[in-house]
Amino acid sequence: MRKFLIAAVAAGALIAAATASAALQPGVFDPNNTHCVTSTFSNGVLHLAKNCATTTNASAGADITGLSGQTFQSASFTLASASQCQGGSPRFDISTTNGLFFLGCNNVTPTTNSDGTVTYTFSPANLIPADPMKTTPGTITAVDILIDVQGTADVSNITVNGVLENVLTPRQNAFAKCKHGQWKTFTDPKFKNQGQCVSHFAHELNRARQDENAKHKHHT
């Protein structure tokens, strides 16, 4: 699993669901097992929380898959309220072939919606390089959205390059693994057809998601 790229703290592995394309993969960076960060997705909203000091080396967020090789064009997300924007958190981390770039909620003026939510919209001009010497982004190698400041954020309508990002169901994840003849490449187990492959991985992914949810409940 790709690692969160976090300014001011060491990068670390993201604990999340199995790899899929063009989707959100919620997860946390918590190398010291503080259990103070959570990332869940329900009803179209990514619920992020960091219930410990900002200085704690931990964050909550989601990988955004399926963008590798693209040129960054646009991104946006909506917060439940403007008060959930704390400095540059939440933010997008855009990793490219020419370095890492940030898109923080404090980098642009948000649009206030009729229901009180606020939407932050970013263009290439808003990209902030992690390395001031590398001001021109290359093609995308990885993207994530995260919070690393104490507090919570309810993030919805997450888009990158015009695509609305959502969490795939276990069956959708399984289909991504088995489509385009990929089911033929598995040897342990070996499948007779694509349908058998999808059924197998849907069951495995659903069980993994249930186990992960159980762990979060145990530590809250």
Q: Read off the pLDDT of residues 34-63 as tens digits, 9 standing for 90 and up.
A: 999 999 998 899 999 999 999 999 999 999
Domain residue limits at 181: 169-220
Q: How far apart (Å, rounded) are the C-alpha atoms in residues 60 and 38?
A: 6
8 A C-beta contact, residue 73 and residue 62: no
**Tokens 């939440």 sit on residue:** 90
Rounded to two decimals, the pTM is 0.73
The amino acid present at 86, given as its one-letter code, is Q
3 DSSP β-pair partners: 13
Two structure tokens written together for 122: 């970013």
State the total domains in the chain. Answer: 2
Q: Are both 86 and 31 inside the same structural domain?
A: yes
Neighbouring C-beta atoms of residue 112, cutoff 10 Å = 12
If asked whether residues 85 and 159 sit together in one domain, one would say yes
pLDDT, tens digit (0-9, with 9 covering 90-100), for 170-185: 666 666 668 778 888 8
Q: What is the CATH number of the domain that holds 108?
A: 2.60.120
Beta-bridge mates of residue 86 = 89
